[in-house]
Every structure is written in structure tokens, then in C-alpha cells.
Amino acid sequence: MKKAFVIVIIGLLIVFGGIFGFKAFVNSKIAEAMAHMPKPVVTVSAATAEIAHWHPQLRAVASLAAVQGVDVTPQIAGNVTAIHFRSGQYVQAGTPLVQIDDSTQLAQLASDQAQLRLASSNLHRTQELIATKAASQAQLDSAQATYQTDQAAIKDIQATLNKLTIRAPFSGYLGIRQVNVGQYLTPGTKIVDLQSWSPLYANFTLPQSDLQNIQAGTPVQIQTDALPGQTFSGKVTALGSAVNSTTRQIEVQATIDNPKNQLRPGLFGELTVVRDTTEKVLVIPVSAISYNTYGDYVYIIHQEKKDGKTQETAMQQVIKPGKQRDGMVEILSGLKQGDRIVTAGQVKLVNGSLVTISHDA
């Protein structure tokens, strides 16, 4: 029994040894054949690392605000008797917007005007009498005081009437109407918002380290996803008086031109502060950079001669990228001016791949 078990084990070893030996033989022949096969040539697109002159830029997220913007509200309580505007309408400064019931004040004005006419007559009569010494100075003083008091009462009621006719405090665009005829309004009730759209303020913050690079008059540009592809220009008009002690940021305000009224208060966008100086930077297309867990890299194209023939190979090169702008990226280290790098087709490459440059890409 023991002898039969040993024979079976030996037989299995022979069988499996033959199988693995055959596979090893086949693999060695395949490797030998592959070693004699020419390397495949990968078609790629290429570009040259070159020097560009960039204006140093500071970037921030900015919020747009109206130079003049307000919620129109009443100062005196009362019922709305008339509405003189439409939602979204452009109005000039002083345009009547809403009329609040002024019937009581108009009646009071008529009474005060009658009192003023009487006081005026009494004053005139007293002045004539005092000229003939038929009235005393005390009577004249009393008549003048009554006349002036009645004048003041009319001015007071006229001021109240002016407040009951709510007008646009400045020219601009109205928002959505919030009130209706017959509605009772109390002081502070929002009637409509009024905003001026041109120009607009852009409010943003910058780190304290950038304070030396910005001042009133520094040009800025802003883009917003509400109007993709469009850039609006302006200038810095004010800086905060102090750096925030918690965030170490300083508040900055720029004024943005909005000639076609495309921008709206409340929008936010990416703002760029453009400095007057320029700097030389080494740049390549952003599409040339590949990424992995070990860092960013590109494929540099090298020329070499082999067997009397010139061939081009792609070799990986670790780089340190910097700022990006208009599809180009600054290279801080890893490349030099004139290096040719692969911009398309990297996914088909390995270190040392033979390449040919496509001039159609």
C-alpha cells in the first residue's frame, strides 16, 4: 500500500513537471520572439517649452454690489392709494413710486393755509395801526409770532405730504414690487428694491502678504459663470483701513465698468488683479502634464541614433508646475527652454517608447 502511494506521487510530479516545463518553454520562446520584434512607434503631438512674459496676477473671489442700492420703504404709516411703477422698470431720481393716503394731511393743509391768511391780514393791520400809534409793540410782536407759527405749520404739513409720496432717491432699476393698492404700510416695510447697475463695486479680500502689490488705481478684471467667456475691467478704488486680525486678510473694493448693464449686484466671480510689471516664465500647454501619486510629470522627446538611424523616444521627467493661464502652465523646475514635450497621446506611452510627431494635431 505504501509503495503504491509513492508511485502515485511520483506520477503526479512527472505530469505536473511536464506541464509547467512546457509552459516555461513556450514563454521563453515568446519572450525570445518579442525581443527580436521592433518596438511599436506611437504617434503623439508635441510642443516646445518656451519663455513667456506674464503680468503677475493676484486672484480672489469677488462679490458684486451696487454703488447705490436700497430697499425703498415708507417713513410714515398709511394705506397705499396708488402705485406708479412696474417691476423691473428703470426710473429717474425723484420719480413718484407709491402714494400713501394723504387725505387727512391735505385737509390739515387747507386749514393751516386759512389760518396763515388770517394771520397775514392781522399782521398787516397791526403794522398799519402801529404806524399811527393805535397799537402797541406787544400787539405787533404777537401778530408776527402768530404769522410765523402758521408758516411753520404749513411747512410741517408739506414735509409730511412729501413723505407720503414715496419717490426714487436716485436713478436706477427697480426690483419686484412687494406691495399692493390698499395695503397698510408701517415704517420700514419694503416696497421695492432700487439698484444702480453701472458701475458696480467688486468686493474681495487678499492676504496681508499681497498688500504691497495693490493700491488704488491697480487694474482688475472679473469673470463670472453667469456670463461665460466675458471679461469685465475696472480699477481698485479703496482698501480697508486695517487687516483683519483673525484672517489676516485685507478688504479691497474695485469699481467695475458695466456699460451694457449685463452684470447684476449680488453676482460673484473670479477677480484678477493685474500688476503693471512683467516677469519671464517658462511655460508649456496644460495638456502635457500627467499626474500620479509620485508627482507631476511630462514626457520629454529625445533624439538618439541607433544602427545608423535617428529615432525619437519619450522619457518621463518629473516637473514642478506653477500658475496656470489661458491653457498654459508655468514650469518652476524640471524643464528648460527648448525642451520638446508630448502634449497628446501620453496614455499610450511608457518610459522609452519610440514616438513620431503628428503635425496635424
pLDDT tens digits for 329-353?
989 998 899 999 998 888 888 888 8
Is the pLDDT score of 81 beyond 60?
Answer: yes
Q: Averaged over 134-156, what is the pLDDT? A: 88
Is the pLDDT score of 38 beyond 60?
Answer: no
C-alpha cell at 291: 499626474
Residue of 274 and 273 predicted with greater confidence? 273
Is the pLDDT score of 169 beyond 70?
Answer: yes
pLDDT tier, 140 (very low <50, low <70, confident <90, very high otherwise) = confident
- Range from 178-192, 224-238, 309-323 carrying the lowest mean pLDDT: 309-323
* Strands across the sheet containing 328-333: 50-54, 279-285, 328-333, 320-325
- Is the domain 58-67+196-277 a CATH 2.40.30.170 member? yes
| Amino acid in the structure at residue 65 | A
Residue of 28 and 132 predicted with greater confidence? 132
Q: Which CATH class is domain 37-53+280-357?
A: mainly beta
Residue tagged 417713513 (cell numbers): 75
**Number of helices and strands (H, E) in the chain?**
3, 24
C-alpha cell at 33: 520572439
Residue of 185 and 130 predicted with greater confidence? 185
Mean pLDDT value across the chain: 86
pLDDT of the residue at 304: 79
pLDDT of the residue at 91: 95
Looking at residue 212, the DSSP 8-state letter turns out to be G
Q: What is the pLDDT of residues 240-256, one digit of tens each?
A: 999 999 999 999 999 99
Give percent of the chain above pLDDT 90.
49
Residue of 279 and 238 predicted with greater confidence? 238
| 3-class DSSP state of 238 | strand
Residue of 307 and 195 predicted with greater confidence? 195
Q: Which CATH class is domain 74-190?
A: mainly beta
- Domains of the chain, by residue range, sit at 37-53+280-357, 58-67+196-277, 74-190
- Range from 17-26, 226-235, 245-254 carrying the lowest mean pLDDT: 17-26
Residue of 222 and 32 predicted with greater confidence? 222
Radius of gyration of the chain from its Cα atoms, rounded to whole angstroms? 42
Q: Averaged over 315-319, what is the pLDDT? A: 89
| Amino acid in the structure at residue 13 | L
pLDDT of the residue at 277: 74
Distance of CA 314 to the CA centre of its chain: 41
**CA-based diameter of the chain, in Å?**
165
